[in-house]
Structure 1
Amino acid sequence: MDENKEIAYLREFVSIKQCELMFPLKVQLDNVGLLQEEVRAVRQATDTVGSLLQHIVNKINKSIKKLKTKQNTCENEESEVEIKLALKNGQTQKPLKSKMVLKNLITSNMKDVEFSIFNQRYTVLINAPFVKEIKLPVILYSNFSVQASRCHVLFAENNASKFSWYKSKDKENWTKVADSYRYKTVDDDVGHYLKLICVPCNNVLKGPPAEVISENKVEKIGDLPSCPFEKRHKYTSQKLDDDK
């Protein structure tokens, strides 16, 4: 895989019978401006490659239209979007058949699949690990272990995934404090937010990192309340004689 090439993620969500192609897009368009967004295109698993590509074109044209409106551009014609899913063969590409069913594409285990749009080429990773949801506890105390209160990862194993912890007072300047699934907070963490970054991995592929920042800062736990009889016991630590 070309380390310098952008990555597009193609996944099948079996439980809902859908497929998704996700990729980052950053392109400068003449007379329009900079189009930059993360594109997520979802189709039914029984839909075709052609249907997926047309869906992406429709989404891109909507984004371009919004950009034109923001730039007060009068041009109403839709931009021509060059788009392709293909097999890489050296420096050339062999386009996949438009009628190929998406589910069949994913289960075929094809190698060297590429996606291209606006002359930008992406390496396609099929069913790469993906963090669907990640959350931290609402309340954090110093000198206690903390971990994600919810971490839902697809196509990955927790023991292969990588976790990193950071702390910050302003959510802008972060200091790394640990590389582990769990983090034991310390007194110096009081007054800091925590951030957890998860890089989902399996034995073959690595997915895009996902991060979550705590809603509240780490607090120092207060003294536990004591009952009046506990204070009285300090003065009666020894058993009194029967005649007293």
Structure 2
Amino acid sequence: MTAHFQTARAHSFNSAAAQYAANRPSYPTALLDAVENMAGRPLAGARVADVGAGTGIATALLQARGADVLAVEPGDGMAAQFRRTLPDVPIVRGDGNHLPLATASLDFLTYAQSWHWTDPARSVPEALRVLRAGGALALWWNTSALDVPWIEAQMDRIQRHFDIDEDLVLNGNGTPTALADTAGRLDFARRRVRWSRRVPVDTHLANIGSHSIFLVHGEESAAAFLTEERRHLLSVFPDGAVEETYDVELLLATCP
């Protein structure tokens, strides 16, 4: 993947922020339970920064859990949508490679669906800088459950249409384990949480259409795929309600 293509994909969400906010899946309660269990402390009352917060899907869950949460987001469109969605949550502009946060100021640093846009050679030292001793870096991704036959078939169709590999479809830029810490400075524990949601076929199509691989290939290419995909989906779900199944891949490391 070229640096130009990677940059284009990272910025593509800003033009589709409302679509992203309306149709992307959230995360299950069991995920936040796992974060607390692995970190050995509750989110309630904890000082948390949610980096690459986007439209605030994960930030809202952290706030509801009782965390004192601050959002960090680099994109204009996503930040504007965030402010509409969560006007009472502070948001600052920045990214994981250059965190606009004070040293040793956080109990948790979270990346929901966003760590793969960072350079671990820079984002890992930044995480270690801003976390307090014993603080936790938590990274997670909703990934498609490929053992579900219709999801595997859809993944194959996406790969063929856009001529890309599976990792780019699953989470944007590689596998969570490989992305975690190329510098080897943190010991990550891993947990997988399966969950599902039932949504109208239009919501499902808008969800997958909000992924960067669709956004950067242009409206004509994306529309052609989504039109044909509707036919495939209605053959599997004739009532028009799609059962999406996800495996949330969670990686968590504690700051020394």
**Range into which the TM-score falls when normalised by the shorter chain:** under 0.3
| Higher normalized strand content (fraction of residues) | 1
- Normalising by structure 1, we get a TM-score of 0.25
Determine which structure has the larger helix proportion and give its number.
2
The structure with higher relative contact order (CA 8 Å, sep 6+) is: 2
Taking structure 2 as the reference length, the TM-score comes to 0.24
Greater Rg over alpha carbons, structure:
1
